[in-house]
Amino acid sequence: MMTTQPPLIRLQDVLKTYAAPKTSLFDSPQRFIAVNHLDFEMQKGEVLGLIGESGCGKTTTARIIARLLKPDSGKIFLNGTDILPLDDYDFRPFRRQIQMIFQDPQQVLNPSLTIEQILMEPLIGFHILRNDKERREFIRLELPDVGLDNTYLPRYPHQLSGGQRQRVAILSALLVKPALLIADEVVSALDLSIQAQILNLLQTLREKHQLSMLFISHDLHVVSWLADRILVMYRGSLVEEATTEELLRNPIHPYTQSLLAAADLFEGNLPTEGIGWGVASDLCCPYAELCPQSTELCRSQRPPVQVLANGHRVACHCRQKGV
Amino acid sequence: MQQNKELCRVEHISVSVPYVGKYYPAVHDLSFRMNVGDSVGLIGESGSGKSLTAQAIAGLLPEQVQRSSGHIYFDGIDLTQLTEEELRAYRGFDITMVFQDSATSLNPLLTIGYQMREVLLLHCREIQGKAAQEQHLIASLEEVGLDRPREVLQKYPHQLSGGQRQRVMLAMVMLPKPRLLLADEPTTALDLTTQQQILTLIRNLQQKHELTLLMISHNIQVVRSLCERTMVLYAGQIVESGPTNEVLTHPMHPYTLALLDSKPSFQRKGQTLEMVEGMVPPLDQRQVPCNFAPRCPFRTEVCDREIHEFHRGEHSVLCNYPRSGKAVSV
Ligand SMILES: Nc1ncnc2c1ncn2[C@@H]1O[C@H](COP(=O)(O)OP(=O)(O)OP(=O)(O)O)[C@@H](O)[C@H]1O
Ligand SMILES: Nc1ncnc2c1ncn2[C@@H]1O[C@H](COP(=O)(O)OP(=O)(O)OP(=O)(O)O)[C@@H](O)[C@H]1O
Ligand SMILES: [Mg+2]
Ligand SMILES: [Mg+2]
**pTM for the whole structure:** 0.90
Chain A interface, best mutation among B273, B276, B295, by max A CB count within 10 A: B273
pLDDT band at B325; cut points 50, 70, 90: low
Nearest-CA neighbor of B9 among B60, B55, B78? Answer: B78
Residues in chain A predicted with pLDDT less than 50, given as ranges, are: 1, 265-278, 322-323
| Gap from CA of B268 to ligand 2 centroid (Å) | 31
Cβ(A250) to ligand 2 under 6 A? Answer: no
| Interchain pair B45, A194: CB under 8 A | yes
Pocket test for ligand 1, best of A60, A68, A223, A259 (most atoms within 8 A of CB): A60
Percentage of chain B exceeding pLDDT 90: 50
Report how far ligand 3's centroid is from the alpha carbon of A314 (Å).
23
Average confidence score pLDDT of chain B: 88
Other CB atoms within 10 A of residue A133 CB: 9
Give the C-alpha separation, B90 to B320, whole Å: 40
Interface of B with A in 57-96 (CB under 8 A): 62
- The answer to whether the CB of A51 falls within 8 A of the CB of A240 is no
For residue B197, the model assigns a pLDDT of 80
pLDDT for the residue A276: 41
- DSSP per residue, B208-258: HH--EEEEE-S-HHHHHHH-SEEEEEETTEEEEEEEHHHHHHS--SHHHHH
Q: Is the ipTM of this complex over 0.90?
A: no
Q: Which candidate from B47, B147, B159 shows the least CB-CB separation from A276?
A: B147
Average pLDDT value for residue range B68-91: 91
Does B248 contact A at CB distance below 8 Å? Answer: no
Exposed / middle / buried, residue A243 (Cβ in 10 Å: 0-12, 13-18, 19+): middle
> What is the per-residue pLDDT for A268?
36
A111 ligand 2 Cβ < 6 A: no
pLDDT digits (tens, 9 = 90+) for B138-157: 999 998 888 889 999 999 99
Q: Is B43 on the interface with A (CB under 8 A)?
A: yes
pLDDT of residue B212: 95
Cα(A52) to ligand 1 centroid in Å equals 12
Look up residue A317 and give its amino acid.
H
Q: Of B143-147, B170-174, B191-195, which gets the smallest average pLDDT? A: B191-195
pLDDT tens per residue across span B252-308 = 999 998 888 777 877 788 788 887 777 788 888 887 789 999 889 899 999 989 999
User: Residue A29, exposed/middle/buried by CB under 10 A (0-12, 13-18, 19+)?
Assistant: exposed
Q: How much is the pLDDT for B206?
A: 83
> Contact B58/B95 with Cβ under 8 angstroms?
yes
